[in-house]
Amino acid sequence: MLMVVVGKSNGIASPVQPFTTYKHSIELQENVADLWWTVDADAQEIIFELHVKTTGWIALGISPAGGMIGADIGTGWVDQAGNVHFQDRHAFNFSRPVIDNTTQDWFHLQGREQNGWTCIQFKRLLDTCDSMDVRIRSGTNIVIFAYGLVDPDLSRQDGDISYHDDRRGTRMIPLQSYGNPPSEDKFAGLDSFEFRLNNYRVPSTETTYHCKHKALIDPANRDIVHHQLVYECDPAAIFDDANLPEGLCDEINPQIELCTTNIASIWAVGGDYMEEFAEEAGYPVAGDFPIKYYAIEMHYNNAKQLSNRTDSSGIRFYIGNELRQYDLGYLSFGTYANAAALAIPPRVDRFNVDSYCSPRATQNFPESGITLLSTFPHTHLQGK
């Protein structure tokens, strides 16, 4: 198996040409927001260009934990005279970000409005040494964006940026080492198979884990799909193919106990919608591979507890025509998320969790060792 697709992305949607050529680009939200950027390692700065389908204000931020709290945000707009306004802001909580009163560290270079899109090029240092900013580290950065429908009117007392409502999003991007994902056209003509939910009615509760057997992010539900996992079932697992288990994970856990350990694929909000495996390795399927059953676990974060939402998200795998040299697998380790294993004391600013694996965890490793292609650390808002 060559690659994984968790949702179809049409690539860059902005009809406006960027001001220059960049090393990286990504569609932040389909047909709504696009981002280009280049890192200048010598100058230790990063140049962004943000295009958003609006004639109001637009904003891009670096978040320490995925939300607004503590985020460092560059906010800008182009007024009716074509002048660009740009502000360095900081979010202390879930309210309008305030203008940074320490130093101005986001600088606009140029901007324009064209064909209903607002486009602004701007830059900042990777590390500004400003207490109201967030350092752009090597590794994964949490990028947030938002936009409004109208420009601020700074001549009025109430003329600040308007509330964005649900016009916002989050992406996890390694800004300094991003690998541009391939186009899906590269795999045209290859066989594929999918694990997908079928119009599942999402409960109007904040958190739901839904599990299904045997079988892409539904564009209509990107606001509530938090992450999904595909598990291998132990070869000893036996099921009735005409009546496979499906339902809330906790409720059917006794039936799928042999299908909740080995991970075959994982995706979480903020990740790219297409991932290609290394050229020399692939994930084995069929043939003499002993896995017959797979289970998909979908985590819904329905924070507004909306009802009457149905979802058909899932994941697609493309199958290569030639056997690759090495087999891929997944190694998972960590700490169980329960009070007996992971209990953070009250009123502490920092709490380290140490996990140790027994020798059994590596007893099947070859003597030559294993090669890690990528890592996926996963915690919720309290983890770093």
Distance CA 262, CA 232 (A): 5
Res. 114 pLDDT band, cuts 50 70 90: very high
Q: How far is CA 274 from CA 9, 176, 183, 318, 377, in A?
A: 8, 19, 8, 11, 18
DSSP class per residue in 241-296: TTS--EEEHHHHTTTSGGGSSEEEEEEETTS-SEEE--TTEE---STT-----EEE
C-alpha angle with apex 327: 325 to 333, nearest 5 degrees? Answer: 145
Q: What is the DSSP pairing of strand 326-327 with strand 281-282?
A: parallel
Nearest to 58 by CA among 150, 183, 172: 150
Q: Name which of 1-15, 17-31, 105-119 the model is least confident about.
A: 1-15
C-alpha angle with apex 20: 44 to 50, nearest 5 degrees? Answer: 75
Residue 87, both tokens: 């502000």
Which numeric CATH code is attached to 184-333?
A: 2.60.120
pTM score above 0.75: no
Distance CA 66, CA 172 (A): 8
DSSP class per residue in 49-102: EEEES-SS-EEEEEESSSSSTT-EEEEEEE-TTS-EEEEEEE-SSSSPPEEPSS
Do residues 173 and 26 touch, judged by C-beta distance below 8 A? Answer: yes
Question: Is 378 part of the annotated catalytic residue set?
Answer: yes
Distance CA 36, CA 60 (A): 12
Question: What average pLDDT does the segment 364-373 reach?
Answer: 86
pLDDT tens readout for residues 159-188: 688 888 889 988 888 898 877 677 777 778
pLDDT tens readout for residues 231-248: 889 989 989 988 988 888
Nearest to 314 by CA among 192, 195, 193: 195
The amino acid occupying position 239 is F
pLDDT tens readout for residues 209-228: 767 544 456 666 666 777 78
Half-sphere exposure for 373 (CA within 13 Å, toward CB): 16
pLDDT given for residue 85 in this prediction: 94
Nearest to 27 by CA among 299, 274, 247: 274
More confident residue, 27 or 270: 27
Q: What is the DSSP pairing of strand 314-319 with strand 3-5?
A: antiparallel
Count of beta carbons in the 10 Å neighbourhood of residue 69: 14
| Homologous superfamily, domain 9-173 | Cellobiose dehydrogenase, cytochrome domain (2.60.40.1210)
Q: What are phi and psi of 252, to 5 degrees?
A: -105, 10
Distance CA 294, CA 296 (A): 7
DSSP class per residue in 120-168: EEEEEES----TTS----SS-EEEEEEE-SS---TTSTT-SPPP-TT-E
pLDDT given for residue 262 in this prediction: 83
pLDDT tens readout for residues 64-95: 877 888 999 999 999 999 999 999 999 988 88
pLDDT given for residue 261 in this prediction: 81
Question: Is 283 part of the annotated catalytic residue set?
Answer: no
pLDDT tens readout for residues 245-284: 888 888 998 899 998 888 888 877 666 667 778 888 888 8
Question: What average pLDDT does the segment 188-207 reach?
Answer: 81
pLDDT given for residue 383 in this prediction: 63
Question: What average pLDDT does the segment 22-48 reach?
Answer: 93
- 3-state SS assignment for residue 114: strand
Res. 16 pLDDT band, cuts 50 70 90: very high
| Confidence check: pLDDT of 380 > 70 | no
- How large is the C-alpha radius of gyration of the chain? 23
More confident residue, 355 or 271: 355
Question: What average pLDDT does the segment 95-101 reach?
Answer: 86
Q: Catalytic pick from 22, 178, 209, 326?
A: 209
pLDDT given for residue 214 in this prediction: 43
Domains in the chain: boundaries: 9-173, 184-333
